[in-house]
Amino acid sequence: MEADTKSTALAYLYTLEGVSSWVLHTATKNALKRKEEGLNPTFMPSTADFYRYCEKLESDIRFRADRLLKNLEKPERTEKAQEAPLTSVRLEKLQRGL
């Protein structure tokens, strides 16, 4: 039994080599909480299935980051009726009004 546990751990170690720590942490947490999509909720996923799930998580976060960077690089729109920038004083007034 101990050899089987060690070989399983070694298989996960080799398969998940190169996966970012954030993705590995998130995927493990989701698997333990049964929140992962596309994996069998009854059993711990195989190394290949878990790796594919990690790839999907990483792909999703990279897509969001790329989209965010592209939006930040866009030039600001200038309109005639552009509002004044939101200052801290104006923000406080708006929050009090809510």
**Would 88 be classed as within a structural domain?**
no
**Would 83 be classed as within a structural domain?**
no
8 Å CB contact between 62 and 76? no
- Which three-class secondary structure string do you get for 28-90? HHHHHCCCCCCCCCCCCCCHHHHHHHHHHHHHHHHHHHHHHHHHHHCCCCCCCCCCCCCCHHH
pLDDT at 83: 66
**Would 90 be classed as within a structural domain?**
no
**Would 64 be classed as within a structural domain?**
yes
Rounded Cα distance, 24 and 55, in Å: 10
pLDDT at 35: 78
pLDDT at 90: 79
pLDDT at 85: 74
CB atoms within 10 A of CB 39: 19
Please report, in tens digits, the pLDDT of each residue of the chain (98 residues total). Answer: 577 889 988 998 899 999 999 999 999 898 888 877 777 777 788 889 889 999 999 999 999 999 999 988 888 776 655 666 778 887 788 778 76
Domains: count for the chain: 1
**Would 93 be classed as within a structural domain?**
no
**Would 92 be classed as within a structural domain?**
no
pLDDT at 65: 92
pTM of the model: 0.63
**Would 8 be classed as within a structural domain?**
yes
Enumerate residues 6+ apart whose C-beta is below 8 A from 14: none
Where in the sequence is the domain holding 71, given as residue range(s)? 2-75
pLDDT at 41: 73
**Would 31 be classed as within a structural domain?**
yes
Rounded Cα distance, 72 and 32, in Å: 36
